[in-house]
A and B are shown apart, each in its own frame.
Chain A
Amino acid sequence: MSKLVVRNLYKVFGFNPKLGVRLIKEGKGKDEILKETGMTVGMSDVNFEVHEGETFVIMGLSGSGKSTVIRCLNRLIKPTAGQVILDGQELTSMKKRQLIGVRRTAMSMVFQNFALLPNRTVLANTEYGLEVQKISPAKRKAKALEALALVGLEGYEDSYPDQLSGGMKQRVGLARALANDPEVLLMDEAFSALDPLIRSDMQDELIDLQHKMKKTIIFITHDLDEAIKLGDRIMLMKDGKVIQIGKPEEILANPADEYVERFVQSVDRSGLLTAADIMSKPWTTANINKNPLVALSECKKYGLENILVTKEGRILCGAVSASALQQAVHEGKPTLHGITKEDEVERIAPDTNIKQIIESTLQSSVPVAVVDDTGKLMGVIIKSSILRTMIPGRGNGHDDT
């Protein structure tokens, strides 16, 4: 079931928004309406669905209506027409009280410029969403500390926002949003104000967190690189309209029109790169001498279908699937010997040209392993590492500038 459904959503800013919507329906464009009436079309006829646990990225140039869309989801902006439906409940017709309830428990927002209260400590900022719900001080402190630990900010509880770097401020912003334990996270250009390196770290961490938490995330960016790295699906917007919705690889492979194409314009740079350039650290691996139960819980934690198995010295043994682990636990096997499939994993040397592995990476659910000549696991190559190399003007996995 879809977590969030948006149907025929319109927003016109100006003296007579309804008239604006009528003009749009008559076929008038954003520029025409602005010239004739002075009203600005924020978005027109936006339709999309977001699945439970999905990271849905909205992408477009500045002014394309991304912020307007996301603010209609928690109704910081009231749409002129259309519906927003969360878990079958229509938000657009909700009463104020009910809406406040949704904002408190179901949806949290992370802001581009952090929006932290400068007069509150990190802890007090993180507690804000719980405080307005009148949760007891002890309980909200516990929850806030938990959220701060999740984003790696232990020990900074008593600092003030202006004592922190940009990346740390946004961690507080993220912790504040997570403390409420919302089902949906709304992130409006949450990483756009950060330095490229910090930004890349934050993206990795969000991916990590998402593997553990399985929230439904709506993430806004104007950066295709970020969209592809984070998005399960991407929605492209231009002049308030939706241009294309699809998986990253679909959008890269079949740009809907020249606007998308310009975004994507694949100069094929993949010919120049080697596996070492684009590999990333595996989220987790299993030790072959450990109990299958351990490996299974790691699989569950990160939502993996397969897990790489290593022995002492990080020498790669193979991979084992979650279902095989389940079986082994059932049968009471003490270790992973015997169930580890050695040939399930494709192994490549660090200097392999990535052109040779694009096909197999995009098709397989087991990551391609990068091993050195002693058989030691150096890193893995997953779908998103490949996809990112197809973006023009972008380097490899390590160089994010």
Chain B
Amino acid sequence: MTIPRLPVGDVFAEIVDYLRVTWNGLFAVIRNTIEFLVSWTERGISFMPFWVFAIIIALIAYKRSGKGLAIFSLLGILFIQTLDLWAATQSTLALIVTATAIALAFGVPLGILSAKIKPVNTVLRPILDLMQTMPAFVYLIPAVLFFRIGAVPAVISTIIFSMPPVIRLTDLGIRQVPAELIEAGEAFGSLWHQMLFKIQLPLAMPTIMAGINQCIMLSLSMVVIASMIGAGGLGSVVLTGVQGLRVGMAFEGGLAVVVIAIILDRLTQGKTSKNASKI
């Protein structure tokens, strides 16, 4: 006796088709918004010559972390320019900035809700577990199904992939605020939003910053992977290199990704380590 094959794939395809038709308007809005954000971010970056951009980054690096990172950023961006990869880097940065901004805009409030309302936490937790255990490229499939190929599905899958740590660490940071401080806030007659903005968020800030840092790093890795669905940028340099067996090109693209990763990572964790050493 043969066990009948369950039509899981067919049903899934049906559902996707159904959604695509009925929610057509919504998808169009999302698509247009993201396209708009990515293109304007990219224009904003490419508006200035690479050396202006490099100096700005170096100044921020100096402020947040110190001389070392400032010099590294300056040399790193110069290095990318000499490899002729500055244009590709711009597209990658635009994707990262857009995806991270959206991930934070949803992730931080969700984290707050999750910390303050127990049912939200109960619902979110298994979803977040799922999101984080799924292999990265799995997100590419639904994104492509709903948004075809290009920058938009790349940003969408990047958001989904990079948002869990923001939610988790915002939630954690708020929960970690000592009970006595919450009591003090209440004893002095704080309203709920005063409690949130004057006590909980400031005290959770170092933890939230760690979440933002992770979010950016995950965005970068995902944006590279998303070159498979036509995201462009450094990822597609690597991809073209690998597919065409041009080892040198792939290696150069990879190096540029590493340089960007180091700069972004140090920039977003600079503050906390600096404060820690001051105490």
Which residues in A have some Cβ–Cβ distance to B below 8 Å? 71, 74, 76, 100-104, 107-109, 111-113, 115, 117-119, 128-129, 131-133, 162, 176, 180, 186
Contacts and interface: CB of A to CB of B under 8 A. Distances in A.
A102 to B, nearest CB: 8
A108 B187 contact: yes
B189 interface: yes
Contacts, number: 58
8 contacts: A76-B183, A100-B189, A104-B188, A111-B180, A113-B180, A132-B189, A132-B190, A133-B189
Interface in B162-204: 178, 180-181, 183-184, 186-191, 194, 198-199, 202-203
B279 interface: yes
B124 to A, nearest CB: 26
Interface string B134-166: 000000000000000000000000000000000
A101 B188 contact: no
Interface residues of B, number: 18
A187 to B, nearest CB: 12
Chain B residues touching A, majority SS? helix
Interface in B198-240: 198-199, 202-203, 205
A119 B189 contact: no
A128 B203 CA distance: 15
A9 B114 CA distance: 34
A162 B188 contact: no
A34 to B, nearest CB: 23
Contacts of A118: 203
Given A117-B199, A132-B194, A162-B279, A103 B183 contact: no
- Looking at A104, A115, A180, A186, the one whose CB has the most chain B CB atoms below 10 A away is A115
Given A76-B183, A109-B184, A103 B189 contact: yes
B181 A109 contact: no
A74 B191 contact: no
Contacts of B279: 162
Given A103-B189, A132-B190, A115 B184 contact: yes
Contacts of A176: 188
A141 B194 CA distance: 19
B183 A128 contact: no
Given A104-B189, A109-B184, A118-B203, 6 more contacts: A71-B183, A76-B187, A103-B186, A113-B180, A117-B181, A186-B187
Nearest to A99: B189
Interface of B: 178, 180-181, 183-184, 186-191, 194, 198-199, 202-203, 205, 279
Contact of B202 (A71, A102, A117): A117
A64 to B, nearest CB: 19
A66 to B, nearest CB: 15
B183 A111 contact: yes
B195 to A, nearest CB: 9
Given A109-B184, A113-B180, A119 B202 contact: yes
Contact of A111 (B184, B189, B190, B205): B184
B189 A109 contact: no
Nearest to B202: A119
Contacts of A104: 188-189
A108 B189 CA distance: 9
B184 to A, nearest CB: 4
A133 B194 CA distance: 10
Contacts of A128: 184, 188, 198
A118 B198 CA distance: 12
Nearest to B183: A76
A237 to B, nearest CB: 20
Contacts of A111: 180, 183-184
A129 B188 contact: yes
A253 B16 CA distance: 84
Contacts of A112: 180
A117 B191 CA distance: 17
B185 to A, nearest CB: 8
Contacts of B189: 100-104, 129, 132-133
B187 A109 contact: yes
A115 B180 contact: yes
A318 B206 CA distance: 63
A108 B188 contact: yes
B199 A74 contact: no
A16 to B, nearest CB: 20
A71 B183 CA distance: 10
Contact of B186 (A76, A101, A113, A117): A76
Given A111-B180, A117-B181, A117-B199, A132 B186 contact: no
Contacts of B198: 128, 131-132
B191 A100 contact: yes
Given A111-B180, A113-B180, A115-B183, A180 B188 contact: yes
Nearest to B279: A162
Nearest to B186: A76
Nearest to B184: A115
